[in-house]
Amino acid sequence: MNRSFILRASDHPTLALCTIKRADCENLREWKNANRFAFFHQALITPEQQAQWFENYLTRAYDYMFIVQVDARALGCMGFRLIENHADVYYVILGDRAMGKRGWMRAAHDIYFDFALDADEFQACQFEIVRYRR
């Protein structure tokens, strides 16, 4: 996804979901590696692999990855993409554990799903939630 934008909601003015930039790659890599056992790909990701993932991400029109921020502080990430007419929610990670248990990721989910459900390309998709708990 090669567009840059920010999602916000009036009921959470300090919360922002920002589409990722190249500068976010190291945070994403660290968060994925720290939580790798929650995902299908469980091997450690190298900086080179993360850079290649980002280059591929830029070519996919219906792949949205966001950095979740509160007061401009990055606390995690979440993404969704369209793959063969199926919506895939992926890499939902609270990266900054000190910001946990405050409802920020839940509020970010609400903003993110409102955006996904309003997007034309996701109208014919079914969403299935697979949950992992540590």
Q: How confident is the model at residue 127 (pLDDT cuts 50, 70, 90)?
A: low
Residue 86, beta-bridge partner list: 83
Per-residue pLDDT, averaged over 122-130, amounts to 59
Domain range enclosing 116: 6-122
Q: What is the pLDDT of residue 129?
A: 59
How many CA atoms are closer than 13 Å to the CA of 34, on its beta-carbon side?
Answer: 13
Residue type, 24: D
Question: In 3D, which of 45, 49, 89, 86 has the Cα closest to residue 66?
Answer: 89
Which residues are CB-neighbours of 29 under 8 A, at least 6 positions away?
A: 45, 47, 50
The predicted-structure confidence for 16-59, as pLDDT tens digits, reads as follows 999 999 999 999 999 999 999 988 889 999 999 999 999 999 99
What span, in angstroms and rounded, lies between the C-alpha atoms of 14 and 52? Answer: 32
25 in a structural domain: yes
69 in a structural domain: yes
56 in a structural domain: yes
The predicted-structure confidence for 71-103, as pLDDT tens digits, reads as follows 999 999 999 888 877 778 888 999 999 999 999
Reported pTM:
0.87
Number of domains in the chain: 1
Where residue 95 sits, what CATH number does that domain have? 3.40.630.30
Total length of the chain: 134
